[in-house]
Structure 1
Amino acid sequence: MRVELAVLCILAAMFVTWGVTVLWMRHRQLKKIGEYQDEVLKKQREEVQNIYETMRGWRHDYHNHMQMMKAYMSMDQAEEMVDYLDHLEEDLDGIDMAVRTGNVCADAILSSKISMAEKQDIQVDCTAKIPAALTVSDVDLCAVLGNLLDNAIESCVKVKESGRFMRIYIGIFKKQLYISVSNATCEKRRKYLTEFVTQKQGEHGFGLRRIDRIAEKYDGYVNRKNEPGVFATEVMFPL
């Protein structure tokens, strides 16, 4: 009887230890994911803030620019005025929104990421239209877009420059907000969804799991496809 009781106590202790260890590991993983996502959102907020601060600064200087051009015209300094206009055009190119979806936050994230992609010689094709009424919050939507595009860019830069591409489509499909991102990849074989997610480590893995958690939060849907040379992700949120 005492032996059986001792065995039961040992088994119970092992079970409790195992349970505590699992909970601790899960808590640690969630903490890492949270820290990573906080850093991503901080970076995205800084990108958005930088765009709008630049735009406000340009608007503030508008009258000064007009006075300068009038001065050049009054002194018949056409060449100097052309140089000045060229300089202003360069400034405007730097702050112009590459994408206008109807959602300000999405515009800023997409424009920023597309600019980053193009600097890496990635050919980008983007079609996006977002309705005003959404069930998903702007914060979560931008987190999904930011993670999708960061992962796509990371994958593309590993491919030869001539083969780099990224395609983005956002719209309404069957009364749901449909997001599709496909990109070039070095992967040469197909992988199942669970295999792909579990094998990705570090920030990339955190980003994938973050997308899954946000989709689950809104009863959404995530589908990943990996064909030779192409990786695609579809995310859907009910409207």
Structure 2
Amino acid sequence: MIILTVISGIYLGAAIMEVIRATTGEKRKMPFLLSLVILLIPALSPLLMDVEALHEFFILRLILLMLSIFSKFIAFSIIFRRIKLNILYICLMSLITSQMYATLLSRFLPAGHVLDIAAMLTEGTALLIILFIIRKRELELTLQQELKAIAKYQYVMVIILAYIINIFVWASLSEEHHRIAEFLLMPTLVGFTIVLISVISTTAAASKQKMVSELLADQIEKQTEYYDNIKQIYSEFRSFRHDFKNHLLCIRSLLAENETEKATDYISDIEGVLEREKQDFDTGNIIVDSLLSDKKAKALRSGTRIEFTGFVPTMGLSNVDACIIFSNAIDNAIEACAKDQSGQDKVISIKSDFKKGYYFLTISNPVFESVNFKGKNQLVTSKENKTLHGLGVPNIIRAVHKYEGTVDISAEDNRFTLEIVMHLKKEQ
């Protein structure tokens, strides 16, 4: 029976070891067989408590009890060659779950080694099934990232709650300790609610951060596309500059031969080429030029024109922030215009100006449904997925605040208006 107890303890320890690898990403520093030998430490330690000669030495039994509790942590620290809180947490949780399995199985089995063996085999098998599902669905990395988002105090809360639940289950199954179960019912419910709310809030915050990261990644990807367009424009300009010398040579030759009419026609041909290659927008900022050209094609698909007047400075305004402000604002405007299916002409108006260190930007567009606010400059998105959307305006506000700026949003007379004022400094 003792041999079966030791084997069951090694089996459970191996299952926990693999769970640690899957959920924490820790790498085992020892071969599997050597790891099983190390797991003899926690498998043998509970047997020391059964030695009758030690029953009279209270302090020694207390030390052995503490070693028995932390024996798995010691063994796993040796196997992984790391002393980490997440390993300690898993070991403590395993201690709780082992007691819980033993409590549940005590209804069917007598106390003693048989009950211990059954509890360890049941827990080890349950862990291996969970591990199989995690690896089958390739959830290791996702699980590791999610667990990193959980705060340390939440781990402590879960352990305390697990201990309370364990005692509650034990007392519930015993008629003699029914009063203890009644006493622990309310703390169990309150603790479960607190832990649940805490975990949900952490998960929501992590999800929000993930969405913002994805949105920023999308902004960077778009900005890269605009840079590629600019590189192409520069390449075409260098090519034209190279050809321009040849054009001047040809015109000079025609004039030298008094072929004035042919020289005039030649100049007209060059003007025609330049007219075809002329940019759609000339804002003074090549990033914004490229961005507006890209958005123009998207807007035309919903029968919408983009009209720009003014000037966009390049000094004091970073390309990333310019991209965030213009792309989010115009995307929102295009989406609003696309909701109209009447075929009427729609215009997104962009007015830009720079005076005495201050940059003024106004973007307005028609709207075809009610615009709801839940606070100053806080829009209520009309899209079904509230989590994935509604981040555009907050991103604009964050970018503007970098420049000691202000944002004012209004929706009057079926027209949505975004007004921005920023203080631009040369060193920014």
Q: TM-score, normalised by structure 2?
A: 0.45
Q: How does 1:203-214 map to 2 (within 5 A)?
A: 205-214=390-399
Give distance in 1, aligned partners of 2:236 and 2:335: 27
Give the letter aligned to residue 324 of structure 2: A
Quote how far apart the aligned CAs of 1:21 are: 1.6
Q: Matches of 2:187 and 2:315 in 1, distance apart?
A: 62
Distance 1:123 1:18, change over 3 A: closer
1:94 pairs, out of 277, 280, 284, with 277
> Which residue type is aligned with residue 63 of structure 1?
K
Number of the residue aligned with 2:318: 137
Structure 2 CA distance for partners of 1:93 and 1:53, relative to 1, 3 Å? same
Name the CA distance, whole Å, in 2 between partners of 1:69 and 1:115. 37
Q: 1:128 corresponds to which residue?
A: 310
Once the two structures are overlaid, the 10-residue window that deviates more, 206-215 or 155-164, is: 155-164
Name 1:149's counterpart in structure 2.
Answer: 330
**Distance in 2, Cα, partners of 1:28 & 1:35:** 10
The answer to whether the 8 A contact 1:178-1:237 is kept is yes
Aligned with 2:193 (options 11, 17, 42): 11
Alignment of 1:220 with 2:401, yes or no, is: no
* Alpha-carbon spacing, 1:195–1:154, altered in 2? closer, same or farther (3 Å): closer
CA contact (8 A) 1:180 1:235 kept: yes
Q: 1:228 to 1:11 in 2, by over 3 A?
A: same
CA–CA distance in structure 2, aligned partners of residues 64 and 20 of structure 1: 66
User: Which residue number corresponds to residue 378 of structure 2?
Assistant: 194
> Where does residue 237 of structure 1 map in the other structure?
422
Name the TM-score, length of structure 1 as normaliser: 0.73
| Aligned CA distance change for structure 1 residues 208 and 90 (closer, same or farther; 3 Å) | farther
Partner SS for 1:231: strand
Between 54-63 and 221-230, report the one with greater CA deviation: 221-230
- Please report how far the alpha carbon of residue 61 of structure 1 lies from its aligned counterpart in structure 2 after TM superposition: 1.7
Return closer, same or farther for 1:133/1:69 CA change in 2, 3 Å cut-off: closer
2:212–2:391 contact (8 Å) kept in structure 1: no
Structure 1 residue 29, shift from structure 2 partner: 1.4
CA distance in 1, matches of 2:224, 2:210: 21
Sort the Cα spacing of 1:93 and 1:21 in 2 relative to 1 into closer, same or farther, 3 A: same
Residue 234 of structure 1 and its aligned partner are, at CA, apart by: 1.0
CA change 1:92–1:183 in 2 (3 A) is same
How far apart are the structure 1 equivalents of 2:313 and 2:258? 50
Offset of 1:140 from its aligned partner? 0.6
The share of aligned pairs that are identical, in percent, is: 21
Highest RCO, 1 vs 2 (Cα 8 Å, sep ≥ 6): 1
- Cα distance change, pair 200–162 in 1 and its aligned pair in 2 (3 A): same
- Pairwise CA distance, 1:44: 2.2
- Match for residue 45 of structure 1? 227
State the 1:210 CA deviation.
Answer: 2.3
- CA–CA distance in 2 between the matches of 1:229 and 1:26? 31
Conserved 8 A contact 2:348-2:366: yes
Looking at structure 1, the residues matched to 299 and 205 of structure 2 have their Cα atoms a distance apart, in angstroms, of: 43
Name the CA shift for 1:119/1:25 in 2 (closer, same or farther; >3 Å): closer
* Counterpart Cα distance in 1 of 2:233 and 2:351: 23
Q: How big is the shift at 1:31?
A: 2.2
Contact in 2 for aligned 1:54/1:95 (Cα 8 Å): no
Q: Number of residue pairs matched?
A: 234
Question: 1:158 Cα shift?
Answer: 5.3
Residues 225 and 231 in structure 1, CA contact (< 8 A), matched pair in contact too: yes
